Structure 1
Amino acid sequence: MAGVRAVHHLNCGSFRFGLVTHVVVCETDDGVVMVDAGIGSADIESPSALGKAALVLGPALERNETALMQLQGLGYSASDVRHIICTHLDYDHISGARDFPDALVHVTADEHAVASTRPSFTAKLRYRKHHLPLDMRVKTYEGEGEPFLGFSVSYQVAGLNDFMLVPMRGHTLGHAGVAIRAGERGWLFHAGDAFYHRSSIGAGPSPRGLRPRALRVLESMLAADSKRIDINHARLYELAHSQQIGVEVFCSHDRAALRELQTRQ
């Protein structure tokens, strides 16, 4: 069973409009555990494989932003990564998994099913066959689960005492948040793409100008179930402001929030 010794907050994929891809790397007693994997080496070498839809937001595709290169900078090799816990399987969250072939990938069963079968036109645009870890070891989660941090359903990640997968349908049909028990820091909650800016959950000042509206429009456009956006925002607002629990809540694409966490890590 793994206990978290150290946490690193990495940007594993920049985009235009100041967006980032926030990957959490945890050093544990059982090797490295990652929450999401960012954009991987293969897609940076061959951007056309991403498809035109994926390039609309202008990914920077910088090799030095891959999780692999940043982990090597921390003194780790690809084989040290034992687990990758996915909030969902959009390319900017799963592409980097290919750089860690020895890892066990954890994802909700709903997300894995939709991404594997790609039953609709939008699913075919969203999920790329070469991104899916179908030749990797995969553990999926479904069923009753257990209540956790006010959520009605959650799953303890197999083999890891300090990690919980929390379904949060909305951005995708199988989207989830990931809770990390990080020693003295308490619980961290990576909300994936359940929101795009911390102001959505009252965790920071609203950005000026058109940016907040543009981010909200983008969030709605990319959501598989847009009716869940406000519900998820409200639940995460409660979690972020709870005086009893004390949870650090953050999302995947907020650059300012990532920088704050990096200064404290």
Structure 2
Amino acid sequence: MIEPTYEGLESAHAVNHCLLLETDSDGLVLIETGLGLDDVHDPNTVLGSAWVEMSQPVLSEEETAIRQVERRGFSADDVRHIFLTHLDIDHCGGLPDFPDAQVHVLGAEKEAAFAEAPSFRYRPGHWAHGPNWVSYAPESNDEWFGFTAQRAQGLSSEILMIPLGGHTAGHAGVAVRTGDEWILHCGDAYYYHREVEVDHHPHPLLDFVQTTAEVHHDLRLGTQARLRELVRDHGDQVTLISAHDPWELQRLQANGR
């Protein structure tokens, strides 16, 4: 359990916040997968016993993305595209549950994961089935609220890959247009909602976790500073989502998001 840093919130478990989009012409689009069925059924082999012991994940089949998709009346085949902020162990474990989906990720992240796996961070079992990868270079002439942006390949839906560096070699956010507004899934660019408030405050435990996991400290802090500017200047147009903040998820659910 994680304790909040101010009154009004109850202790909560960290989450793996995934988004499921139902599009007009591109089928279902899943942003992040969280852990998958293989992880739940054989965690010490697929995830690694050291990671399981440290993270103490909730290993429930009903929590996996595939089971939640099925509860909504869909099947794995309906998920045609998966966008990943990065390939950390807890963000892509569900890939084998959607074997026919195109998997969108920054090229630098895929290269780093393939070079370093198996490691505490990357587990090759998550892509041993040979996903249909769609890789993106970080350079682009497109711009999104001052950020570099890569438009999703092969989709008519307005989905963008936004490099948000510092956490991993090819960490990105995924921006989705919803009418006149945007949602930006920031992955692990921040862990706690107060980190992207103008009067920002870190969470002692979550800050320790993200600091020990970062690949570039100054770049990560710079990314968070830019996200704060985004909230300050365009908070009425863009909703930020962290992968792991339980209180942020509760607030979004209460607001019907």
Query: TM over 0.5: same fold?
Result: yes
Runs of 4+ that moved beyond 4 A:
203-206
Unaligned runs of 5+ in 1: 1-15
Distance change >3 Å, CA 205–CA 101, structure 1 → 2: same
Distance 2:178 2:81 in 1: 16
Give the counterpart of 2:174 among 173, 178, 203. 178
Q: Deviations over 1:1-30 (max 9, x none)?
A: xxxxxxxxxxxxxxx972100001000012
Q: 1:203 offset after TM fit, Å?
A: 7.3
Q: Please state how far the C-alpha of 1:155 moved relative to its aligned partner.
A: 0.4
What is aligned with 2:6? none
The counterpart of 2:163, out of the listed 156, 167, 173, is 167
Tell me the distance in 1 between the aligned counterparts of 2:77 and 2:199. 37
The percent identity for this pair of structures is 36
Equivalent positions of 1:1-265 (< 5 A) are 18-29=13-24, 30-49=26-45, 50-55=47-52, 56-118=54-116, 124-132=119-127, 135-142=130-137, 144-145=139-140, 146-151=142-147, 153-160=148-155, 161-184=157-180, 186-202=181-197, 212-243=203-234, 246-263=237-254, 264-265=256-257
Alpha-carbon RMSD: 2.1
Gap change, CA 1:45 and 1:177, over 3 Å in 2: same
Asked if 2 retains the 8 angstrom alpha-carbon contact of 1:192 and 1:252, the reply is yes
Q: TM-score, normalised by structure 2?
A: 0.88
TM-score (normalizing by structure 1): 0.85
Q: Deviations over 1:83-117 (max 9, x none)?
A: 00000001111010110011000000000001011
Shift of 1:133: 5.8
Question: For 2:226 and 2:200, how far apart are their aligned partners in 1?
Answer: 19
Task: Specify every segment of 5 or more residues in structure 2 that has no aligned partner in the other structure, as ranges.
Answer: 1-10
C-alpha distance 261-203 of structure 1, shift in aligned 2 (>3 A): farther
Distance 2:214 2:129 in 1: 24
Q: Distance in 2 between matches of 1:39 and 1:244?
A: 30
Size of the alignment, in residue pairs?
241
